[in-house]
Structure 1
Amino acid sequence: MASQSVDIYERLSMVAQDGDIERLYELIAESPNILEHFDNVSFCETPLHIAAEKGQTHFAMELMTLKPSLALKLNLSGFSPMHLALQHNHIRIVRGFLAIDSSLISIKGRGRITPLHYVAQLGNEELLSEFLFACPSSVEDLTIKCETAVHIAVKSHQFMAFKVLLGWVRRVNKEEILDWKDEDGNTVFHIAASINQTEVDVSLVI
């Protein structure tokens, strides 16, 4: 019985890699509680993690519909499916996740880094704007180093991402975020000065 149980989850992993929705439903027919298993494990690689990493968009969306809780799971490395989709540049999956559950933008992975933090580090301005509009409160999320997405954009020398974030905090009257300090006691202005990002200094003054 145990070997049969292991076998079905191995098959589920292969189905997720292939993005085969028909075979997914065959496995569900064989074992109707197959997806319930992941709710009982604190940290695990779910089929949604696998689909997100492999870029299997339709399969990922199907799984999200069948079992939304899979999107909240962190794998053994501390990453959610949304984190993995971003890391592997599967933007279509990212937008699919966003359409189904915009709160995933604030899901905290390793180091309390959210998808918004990650996109600020990458400097993807278009995705950054989409994230902010979809989940406005995400701009207040802090990493374990007490960094906001604005801190991260400046530290990563992503000036255009910083401009998007600056425009957003001004638009929603959250400019106090610019005065928040990271674990070293530095505001965005302090960091910009220390790494000689004069563009940031000028933008903050304007």
Structure 2
Amino acid sequence: MSIVVDVNRVSDSIDQDEDTYEKLKKAAQDGDIERLYELIAGDPDILEQIDKLSFRETPLHVAAEKGQTHFAMEVMNLKPSLALKLNASGYSPMHLALQGNHVRMVRGFVAVDSSLVSIKGRGRITPLHHVARIGDGELLSEFLLACPSSIQDLTIRCETAVHVAVKSRQFEAFKILLGWIERVKREEILNWKDEDGNTVFQIAASMNQTEVMKLLGKSVNVNAQSS
């Protein structure tokens, strides 16, 4: 039994899918929800097909980068799993929304799926690491409440969000993280070491961050940290 493949038909199908994808991308850039549904009506499986591809920029990535909050939330409602996809640069829609300072969208994402606070992007950097690095205390507090386990997440350099805050000299962010760790009684996290074998206290000491060292002195064994 032989199977004959119509190469021209396959090629036309690929071209048609790519054309639909480009139209969907344009709709995401413009925040055109009506166009989104028109394209879905023409190809009901389009979002499912995109979801099957690895490291492809999805309409949700595009909307996140452009700050099209309503469009992004509409796509999240239709296909929540797209929020878990990384693009070719290693970023999720959540990462892109944070990079663009689209705070309303970020909060919308977390409201739909709080685990996105822990999604690992390039360098295993999570949204919690990101806000610790830039010192956004308000989002930092919201993220910790939404996803308490995110405090344990490590970058590829074995850094907790506390390491990141101290290395970035974000004192207010550090205080929020320290307060959270003390409230949930997870002080052992303060003793975790990064890839260079340094605890948060040792990093603070090397950077002469005396206020950080004073606060840490109440929660960690300073003598053990100095050895």
TM-score range, shorter chain: over 0.9
User: Is residue 2:101 matched to residue 1:89?
Assistant: yes
Unaligned runs of 5+ residues in structure 1 are none
1:84-163 pair list within 5 angstroms: 84-163=96-175
After alignment, is 35-44 or 74-83 more displaced?
35-44
Whole-Å separation in 1 of the counterparts to 2:116 and 2:17: 30
Identity %, equivalent residues: 74
Q: SS of the residue aligned with 1:35?
A: helix
Whole-Å separation in 1 of the counterparts to 2:123 and 2:195: 13
> 1:194 maps to what in 2?
206
User: Is residue 2:17 matched to residue 1:28?
Assistant: no
Q: Which amino acid aligns with 1:200?
A: V
Whole-Å separation in 2 of the counterparts to 1:150 and 1:46: 32
Whole-Å separation in 2 of the counterparts to 1:12 and 1:40: 16
Give the TM-score normalised by structure 2.
Answer: 0.90
Whole-Å separation in 2 of the counterparts to 1:101 and 1:3: 34
Partner residue of 1:37 out of 40, 49, 63: 49
Q: Which amino acid aligns with 1:196?
A: N
Whole-Å separation in 2 of the counterparts to 1:19 and 1:146: 38
Whole-Å separation in 2 of the counterparts to 1:6 and 1:107: 28
Whole-Å separation in 1 of the counterparts to 2:102 and 2:156: 26
Whole-Å separation in 1 of the counterparts to 2:68 and 2:178: 34
1:94 Cα deviation after fit: 0.3
1:199 Cα deviation after fit: 0.9
Which structure's CA Rg is the greater one?
Answer: 2
Whole-Å separation in 2 of the counterparts to 1:58 and 1:192: 42
Whole-Å separation in 1 of the counterparts to 2:131 and 2:74: 25
1:39 Cα deviation after fit: 2.1
> 2:75 maps to what in 1?
63
1:41 Cα deviation after fit: 1.1
Q: SS of the residue aligned with 2:46?
A: coil
Q: Which amino acid aligns with 2:140?
A: L
Partner residue of 2:26 out of 14, 28, 49: 14
> 2:17 maps to what in 1?
5
Q: Which amino acid aligns with 2:143?
A: F
1:6 Cα deviation after fit: 1.4
Q: CA RMSD in A?
A: 0.7
Whole-Å separation in 2 of the counterparts to 1:42 and 1:5: 16
| Greater relative contact order, per chain length (Cα 8 Å cut-off, separation 6+) | 1
Whole-Å separation in 2 of the counterparts to 1:14 and 1:164: 40
1:165 Cα deviation after fit: 0.1
